[in-house]
Amino acid sequence: MKSELIKQKAHEIGFDLVGITQAETHPHFSFFKNWMDHKLYGTMDWLVRGAERRSDPQKILPGAKSFICVGLNYYHGWPLSIENVEAGKGWVSNYAWGDDYHDVMLAKLKNLEAFILNHHPEAKLKSYVDTGPILERSYAESAGLGWVGKNTLLINQKNGSFFFLGEMLTDLELEYDEPAADHCGKCTRCLDACPTNALKAYELDANKCISYLTIEHRGEIDPKLQSKMGHHIYGCDICQDVCPWNRQIPVSREESFKPRPENFHPSLSSLKNLSQEEFSHRFKNSPIKRTKWEGLLRNIQINKNTEAGRKTGPNPP
């Protein structure tokens, strides 16, 4: 089966980006291992547990030869986080304004699987959307979807960085694309803009990252970091908002990612008294459920405390 047919079908299904690369141990694994050795992953211990499988695609799908990497744009052109600081409201990262991308992306990948199996019934296929033990940005970079920028996100020259990644591992031997070149140049806007200094060029310290703290981290957040979280109650878009490659990018065609009005810059008063049941109902089929009810209420309280601090100023000696 020709790779071009797979790419054509992927675009028909709705993916904005598609590329193919070889299923072999990625050179970036040594960087990933060093990153873990320095405990920059916060409390995301599942990264450590799955580290060995990430080292070799054969541990995931024996006989694997190719990665089919896809990208799906979620940008909707609404105001940026750095343009919205209205009192009494909290910022939700724009990737979570619509439906859960895991479900949307995986359904499209299953559609692509069916197309491939129709031509090659004997083919082995395994698809993931942000859930498998795969260095997905690294393989996507090798497949030509973009380059891993200084903010550690994948950046595409035409589509910026506001897109989700998915991948399909297969035992089919396909034609491989050229890796993407790095176009960050001397720019350091993402590094300079990060409120918590979580970034240094091409490396993220998750322990300081607002996205990690508001979504993945469980329990109390370091008070020194709380004061720098601003109006963020779920995720953070700052390092993308300031990136020059995101200035003129296309709006997503995916209806599922259209913003739910209640998820865009929501009023804190509408959220602070949510019960567990109300949380589950309001954020059904939404990525926001990832932070869990306790996490969202914690983030809202931090937001309120930070806002109160801005109004009153520092405590007198």
Could you give the CA distance from residue 194 to residue 192 in angstroms, rounded to a whole number?
6
Question: How do residues 263-306 score in pLDDT, each as one tens digit?
Answer: 999 999 999 899 999 999 999 999 999 999 999 999 999 998 87
The residues with which 91 forms a beta bridge, in sequence order, are 232
Q: Which two tokens stand for residue 259?
A: 């913003």
pLDDT at residue 312 is higher than 50: no
What residues contact 143, with CB distance under 8 A and at least 6 apart?
19, 20, 21, 67, 68, 69, 176, 177, 179
| pLDDT number for residue 310 | 53
Which tops the pLDDT comparison, 46 or 85? 46
Mean predicted confidence (pLDDT) in 7-18: 98
Q: Which two tokens stand for residue 218?
A: 């469980």
Amino acid at 310: R
- By the 8 A CB rule, do 299 and 272 touch? no
Mean predicted confidence (pLDDT) in 224-229: 95
Could you give the CA distance from residue 198 to residue 209 in angstroms, rounded to a whole number?
5
Question: How do residues 131-160 score in pLDDT, each as one tens digit?
Answer: 899 999 999 999 999 999 999 999 999 999
Residue ranges of domains in the chain: 3-75+100-170, 189-312
Residues acting as catalytic residues? 130
pLDDT at residue 108 is higher than 50: yes
Question: How do residues 57-107 score in pLDDT, each as one tens digit?
Answer: 999 999 999 999 999 999 998 888 988 778 899 999 999 999 999 999 999
Strand spans (E) along the chain: 17-22, 66-73, 91-92, 125-128, 147-148, 154-155, 163-170, 199-200, 203-204, 232-234
Sign of CA dihedral 224, 229, 230, 233: negative
pLDDT, the chain, mean: 94
